[in-house]
Chain A
Amino acid sequence: MFSFPNIAYFIPLLPLLGFLVNGLGRKHLSKGAIAWIGSGVLALAFAASLVVFLNLPSGGPTLLNAFDFIRIGELRIPFAFQLDALSSLFLLIITGIGFLIHVYSSAYMHEESAEHYGRYFAYLNLFIFSMLLLVMGANYVIMFIGWEGVGLCSYLLIGYWFRKPAYTQAANKAFVMNRVGDLAFLIAIFWLIARTGSVNFVDLPAALSSLSSSDITWITMLLFVGATGKSAQIPLYTWLPDAMAGPTPVSALIHAATMVTAGIYMIARSNLLYTAAPLTLNVIAVIGIATALLAASIAIRQNDIKKVLAYSTVSQLGFMFLAIGAGAYGAAVFHVMTHAFFKALLFLGSGSVIHAMSGEQDIRRMGGLKKVLPITYFTFLIGCIAIAGIPPFSGFFSKDAILLSAFLKSPILYGVALFTALLTAFYMFRMFFLTFGGTFRGTDEQKHHLHESPLAMTLPLMVLAVLSVIGGWVGIPELFLHGGERLIEFLSPVIPVVEGHAISHSTEYLLMGLSTGLVLSVIFFAWTRYRQYRSEESSAPFARLLENKWYVDELYQTAIVQPLHRFGGWLRSFFEPKIVDGLIQGVGRSIRYISQQIRLLQSGQTGNYALWMVISIVVILSIQFFVRK
């Protein structure tokens, strides 16, 4: 029971248990108990994941069959879990970072009443549960259950402060946009069932032969559309920045441990299909790099600390999709991992800042926080360095792997990717210097309240900071260390390693040196520009365009939402009552009219009846006469 592989059942069941206990007992439990239960189940789930990770047999996956979810004749969709290198890695990330976020939340949310505190932790546990289903599922349907489950939980948590209409709007937007992607995912599943009769991952290699190349292209495209919803890529990315309406630890959860990585996971899981679909890979590469560039450009001119981070996530996810498009699934997964470390760190750090600033999120009204928030400052700096990609911090190795794969695919992709990486360094350090450098620009009242966060919040920051530094070392390239690329090797049972890096060592060194040098100079530039921020920046038309996020939200609003809304209104108040119902009413009315006319025949006057009788007899006789003839 407590040994491999059955212990894996506990991994999703523990958060589910936490959800039920905290959800149902939220009126009776104390806040301390709620926090202990909520975080405790995650700690245990992490331990169980560790057991799974350490006992994982090399080679094929381990399957756990719980029961048949749907079985009709030949079609069999078991409620089954698959344990292999890919899923076990994700399990560690989800439960590990999830645990830290839970601990952090216990202090961050301390002002909530016990009832809402319980609701919050229950949702958080449910979120983890859904994500665990998503990565543990042994087929696309179970994955889809988790997939929609995280959509639900993000809806619940984004709208957690449900009294603010803007927040609940953002929650709805997140759910609906995700549903657009979900529909594509569903159609891909139907397609797969139609052609192969199975949705299980283990059947994929065998199923490949029964799929035509157009089938594969369609299925992979549809799955990718699904991924754009969950992983916030063009055109379905606009929900993620709005999702900042939720409490800050939730943002950390959505951006680091759960939800947005789902798309990457799904495609990495289906890498066999994608490798057979070069057209789709090209589309993914283009969408990925375009999203990365677009989001980075927006991030430059955002002033809400969480919005900057949100766009940076969108941009980083674009990088991961670029890697996938270049066929480097391992690099994408690697970046998921390092990104989870430093993005969780950055979000929790921003939460600590917001906490200290009594809810203020505008970085223009911050400044000089370095002295009052030393731990937050130091860990945040580590996060920024990691995301900017300076060796030997974690982000460097994963980003370098992605840049390298882009270089191998096309020099243009590489050029744009490098440029985007420079933008990343720029906006991150702009935010960093605005927040922590210079002098304090907030109100006196805020200044009076400034304080470093309690240990429950700073401890997760420190752990994540350490991980952000060393987390990348599992993927140190062969170049530096013989026997490097351990992560790629670990993942090789799921993601076959493609041989033939046709690139010389000198080129590799050159590329690395180039990117590191450029990033350092961009950081220096940001320092000269923002270390003493005083007034508004210039508002050239282009800057305004960026500030308004290229008006994409407005475009969607006028091109899709408004017309649909108007059309629905027209159907409701004109078409339905006047045309559809009007037709039926018309039939009723004409029947009444005809019967009224016929009624006149029965006038009650004998003479009239006699006349009708004579006419009828004449008519009948004449018909008879003609018919006979």
Chain B
Amino acid sequence: MIALLLFLVPLIGGLLTFLPNKSGMARSLALGSALLSLAGVIAGLTLFKQPLYWEFDAEWLQTLGSRFSLKGDAMGMLMSLLTSIGVLLAVLGSWNNDVQGSNRFYGLLLWMQAGMMVVFLASDALLFYFGWELALIPAYFLCSIWGGEKRIAVTFKFFIYTFVGSVLMLIGLIYLQSLTPNHSFQMQAFRNLEIPESKQVWLFWLFFLAFAIKVPVFPFHTWQPDTYEQSPTTVTMLLSGVMVKMGLVAMIRWMLPILGIGVFIWSDVVICLSVIGILYASLIAIRQDDLKRLIAYSSIAHMGLTVAALFSLSGFSNNSNVVLQYHQVGFQGILLQLFSHGINILGMWLLADRIERRFGTRKLSELGGLARTAPTFTIFFLLIAFANIALPLTNAFPGEFLQFNALFHAQSPYRFVFLVLAGLGVILSAIYTLNMVRRIFFGETNQATENGLRLSTAECLALSLVVGLILVFGVYPQAVLDFTNDFSREYVKAIDITRFLAK
């Protein structure tokens, strides 16, 4: 029931918002819908956490073998929490923005949320695909209507990129459906498949390309800095805070348990690409003058580590509990990081947006000295910046710690090289993040920054929420780890390919 509500609330909320109404009404409706979703998730996480509330199944496209089935496992629940928080922050962050055509803007935003909810909760492949597209299409419109100067070209690139990915995935899904005995799109049916190695080798790429573009994994990332830069920041928040996680959740749910052998065959290649991506994106971030592009590259580097950690879980345990234990440790880190990175990057965009709106520039070289003229803002920024470099006692540290640990246990002869190279990202992230802080906040003020910056109540509220989450889960990550413990223990058994090798 909760699962269905999480889809219906933003869908209907978006519809209501879309209808023409008085100015200022749209944002209130959007806020109401966002709050309702969040309340729904929180209720689902506390009072109604039994599976029965989080499952929904109805007939849908019977002839195609697809059902409208939603199922919230621990990962789905965590991601729907992140989605609701993300939408709430996006609405709060844009509260004073005075968007032109706000009813369409917020309507599309809420539909995007509906699509993402489906992606995170679907246990039917076709429904998953439906959610995937439902989330993307509003995003195109949001970017191309409300974006920056170069929005048309950039949105087109974004569209082509993700569209190619979607088509490949659709082909893959249809092919898998044809392999199932009763032609079903159900997740369980897919997981029961025993696909021969010769097919997994190429099937892997159909799915991997689709998801890698979304995450994005080097070298499929070039749409991202452009899109983040050109989109209105509200949309960028959802794109990078939540939508990017769609790619990872998709890998976790639709690749590793289904194409285990294909994943194992290609895992070294994927980890290698991810590690290159970490270094590559970090090095570019060091030389970025544009705040939004800097955050975009930083996000690519962080996601690179998560993908590397995920693919280092691939392998065979020979039913050894020790190996499974290590895989679980790594997987827990990935789940934690999915959530934490989402929160942190949402905060980062809130701050970047505020700077851009106040000073009319995103160039670090045109800022400076804000620590003196905007002390409260500086504190928020520093806290979130330190979460960005995974300082201990911020929420990013335990996630990164466990992910590195996963990398250390990869079943690959190159794991130590991977670990050290990925670890260099830790140093590089300190360099670009602290440089960014220094250039925005320290030194002397100039004409633009002389008058400082005041935060509105809505912004203070949004930033306090982010900082609160950063510190709470930084000091007590066990809250999340406990929540996902059972799920992750079952999951690492499900992706273990020992059972295939035995045959």
Q: Do A and B bind each other?
A: yes
Interface residues of A (CB under 8 A from B): 67-75, 115, 141, 144-145, 148-149, 152, 155, 159, 162-163, 165, 168-169, 171-172, 175-176, 179-180, 182-183, 186-187, 190-191, 193-194, 564-565, 567-569, 571-572, 576, 580-581, 583-584, 588
Contacts of A187 in B (CB 8 A): 408, 419-420, 423
Pairs across A and B, CB under 8 Å, 29 listed: A67-B478, A72-B481, A72-B488, A73-B325, A75-B329, A145-B393, A145-B397, A148-B391, A148-B392, A149-B392, A162-B442, A175-B434, A176-B427, A182-B426, A183-B424, A183-B426, A187-B419, A187-B423, A565-B287, A568-B283, A568-B284, A568-B286, A569-B287, A571-B287, A580-B219, A580-B222, A581-B222, A584-B161, A588-B160
Contact A567 B283 (CB under 8 A): yes
Contact A165 B404 (CB under 8 A): no
Contacts of A74 in B (CB 8 A): 325
Closest to B482 in A: A71
Shortest distance from the beta carbon of A512 to any chain B beta carbon, whole Å: 44
Closest to A577 in B: B222
What are the interface flags for B1-20 relative to A under an 8 Å C-beta threshold, 1 for contact and 0 otherwise? 00000000000000000000
Contacts of A576 in B (CB 8 A): 222, 284
Instruction: Select A564's contact among B283, B426, B442, beta carbons within 8 Å.
Output: B283
Q: Whole-angstrom distance between the alpha carbons of A182 and B392 in the complex? A: 12
Contact A172 B426 (CB under 8 A): no
Instruction: Select B438's contact among A144, A145, A168, A180, beta carbons within 8 Å.
Output: A168
Q: Whole-angstrom distance between the alpha carbons of A580 and B405 in the complex? A: 31
Contacts of A567 in B (CB 8 A): 283
Contacts of A162 in B (CB 8 A): 371-372, 441-443
Contacts of A145 in B (CB 8 A): 392-393, 397
Instruction: Select A69's contact among B280, B441, B477, beta carbons within 8 Å.
Output: B477
Contacts of B488 in A (CB 8 A): 72
Shortest distance from the beta carbon of B167 to any chain A beta carbon, whole Å: 13
Shortest distance from the beta carbon of A452 to any chain B beta carbon, whole Å: 33
B317 part of interface (Cβ distance < 8 Å):
no
Contacts of B372 in A (CB 8 A): 162-163
What are the interface flags for B404-442 relative to A under an 8 Å C-beta threshold, 1 for contact and 0 otherwise? 110011000000000110011011001100110010011
Most chain B CB within a 10 A radius of its CB, from A72, A194, A565, A576: A72
Shortest distance from the beta carbon of B473 to any chain A beta carbon, whole Å: 12
Q: Whole-angstrom distance between the alpha carbons of A533 and B260 in the complex? A: 78
Instruction: Select B442's contact among A168, A176, A183, beta carbons within 8 Å.
Output: A168
Instruction: Select B481's contact among A71, A165, A571, beta carbons within 8 Å.
Output: A71
Contact A193 B222 (CB under 8 A): no
Contact B485 A72 (CB under 8 A): yes
Contact B419 A190 (CB under 8 A): yes
- What 6 A-B pairs have minimum CB-CB distances, sorted nearest first? A145-B392, A568-B283, A581-B222, A162-B442, A568-B287, A168-B442
Q: Whole-angstrom distance between the alpha carbons of A163 and B371 in the complex? A: 9
B165 part of interface (Cβ distance < 8 Å):
no
Contacts of B438 in A (CB 8 A): 159, 168-169, 172
What are the interface flags for B375-406 relative to A under an 8 Å C-beta threshold, 1 for contact and 0 otherwise? 10000000000100001110001100110110
Shortest distance from the beta carbon of A239 to any chain B beta carbon, whole Å: 13
Contact B443 A168 (CB under 8 A): yes
Within B322-338, which residues are at the interface with A (CB < 8 Å)?
325-326, 328-329, 332
**Number of chain B residues close to chain A: CB under 8 A:** 55
Within B287-313, which residues are at the interface with A (CB < 8 Å)?
287-288
Contacts of B402 in A (CB 8 A): 70, 72
Instruction: Select B288's contact among A148, A172, A564, A572, beta carbons within 8 Å.
Output: A572
Closest to B488 in A: A72
Contact A194 B325 (CB under 8 A): no
B369 part of interface (Cβ distance < 8 Å):
yes
Q: Whole-angstrom distance between the alpha carbons of A580 and B426 in the complex? A: 24
Instruction: Select A75's contact among B157, B325, B434, beta carbons within 8 Å.
Output: B325
Contact A176 B430 (CB under 8 A): yes
Shortest distance from the beta carbon of A272 to any chain B beta carbon, whole Å: 23
Contacts of A581 in B (CB 8 A): 222
Contacts of A179 in B (CB 8 A): 426-427, 430
B57 part of interface (Cβ distance < 8 Å):
no
Contacts of B391 in A (CB 8 A): 148-149, 152
B194 part of interface (Cβ distance < 8 Å):
no
B60 part of interface (Cβ distance < 8 Å):
no
Q: Whole-angstrom distance between the alpha carbons of A581 and B280 in the complex? A: 14
Closest to B423 in A: A183
Contacts of A155 in B (CB 8 A): 434
Shortest distance from the beta carbon of A491 to any chain B beta carbon, whole Å: 28
Contacts of B427 in A (CB 8 A): 176, 179-180, 183
Given A70-B398, A71-B478, A571:B280 Cβ within 8 A = yes
Instruction: Select B401's contact among A165, A186, A568, beta carbons within 8 Å.
Output: A186
Closest to B220 in A: A584
Shortest distance from the beta carbon of B70 to any chain A beta carbon, whole Å: 28
Shortest distance from the beta carbon of A135 to any chain B beta carbon, whole Å: 15
B489 part of interface (Cβ distance < 8 Å):
yes
Contacts of B434 in A (CB 8 A): 155, 171-172, 175-176
Instruction: Select B435's contact among A148, A152, A172, A569, beta carbons within 8 Å.
Output: A172
Closest to B219 in A: A580
Q: Whole-angstrom distance between the alpha carbons of A74 and B326 in the complex? A: 9
Closest to B416 in A: A187
Q: Whole-angstrom distance between the alpha carbons of A162 and B325 in the complex? A: 47
Shortest distance from the beta carbon of A342 to any chain B beta carbon, whole Å: 32
Contact B329 A72 (CB under 8 A): yes
B490 part of interface (Cβ distance < 8 Å):
no
Instruction: Select A165's contact among B325, B442, B489, beta carbons within 8 Å.
Output: B442
B444 part of interface (Cβ distance < 8 Å):
yes
Q: Whole-angstrom distance between the alpha carbons of A65 and B393 in the complex? A: 17
Q: Whole-angstrom distance between the alpha carbons of A476 and B179 in the complex? A: 82
Contact B393 A149 (CB under 8 A): yes
B175 part of interface (Cβ distance < 8 Å):
no
Contacts of B398 in A (CB 8 A): 69-70
Contact B325 A175 (CB under 8 A): no
B476 part of interface (Cβ distance < 8 Å):
yes
Q: Whole-angstrom distance between the alpha carbons of A165 and B488 in the complex? A: 47
Contact B405 A190 (CB under 8 A): yes
Closest to A27 in B: B375
Contact A68 B478 (CB under 8 A): yes
Given A70-B477, A186-B404, A193-B408, 11 new contacts (CB under 8 A)? A69-B398, A72-B329, A72-B481, A73-B328, A155-B434, A163-B372, A182-B426, A183-B423, A194-B408, A572-B288, A580-B222
Contacts of B332 in A (CB 8 A): 72
Contacts of A149 in B (CB 8 A): 391-393
Given A75-B329, A148-B391, A162-B441, A571:B284 Cβ within 8 A = yes
Contact A584 B222 (CB under 8 A): yes
Q: Whole-angstrom distance between the alpha carbons of A571 and B284 in the complex? A: 6
Closest to B331 in A: A72
Contact A564 B286 (CB under 8 A): yes
Shortest distance from the beta carbon of A541 to any chain B beta carbon, whole Å: 35
Contact A152 B442 (CB under 8 A): no
Contacts of B329 in A (CB 8 A): 72-73, 75
Shortest distance from the beta carbon of B421 to any chain A beta carbon, whole Å: 11
Shortest distance from the beta carbon of B317 to any chain A beta carbon, whole Å: 13
Contact B404 A190 (CB under 8 A): yes
Within B350-381, which residues are at the interface with A (CB < 8 Å)?
369, 371-372, 375
Instruction: Select B405's contact among A169, A193, A565, beta carbons within 8 Å.
Output: A193
Contacts of B478 in A (CB 8 A): 67-71
Contacts of A183 in B (CB 8 A): 423-424, 426-427
Within B137-177, which residues are at the interface with A (CB < 8 Å)?
157, 160-161
Closest to A169 in B: B438
Contacts of B160 in A (CB 8 A): 588
What are the interface flags for B461-503 relative to A under an 8 Å C-beta threshold, 1 for contact and 0 otherwise? 0000000000000001110010001001100000000000000
Shortest distance from the beta carbon of B309 to any chain A beta carbon, whole Å: 12
Contacts of A71 in B (CB 8 A): 478, 481
Closest to A168 in B: B442
Contacts of B404 in A (CB 8 A): 186, 190
Q: Whole-angstrom distance between the alpha carbons of A172 and B326 in the complex? A: 35
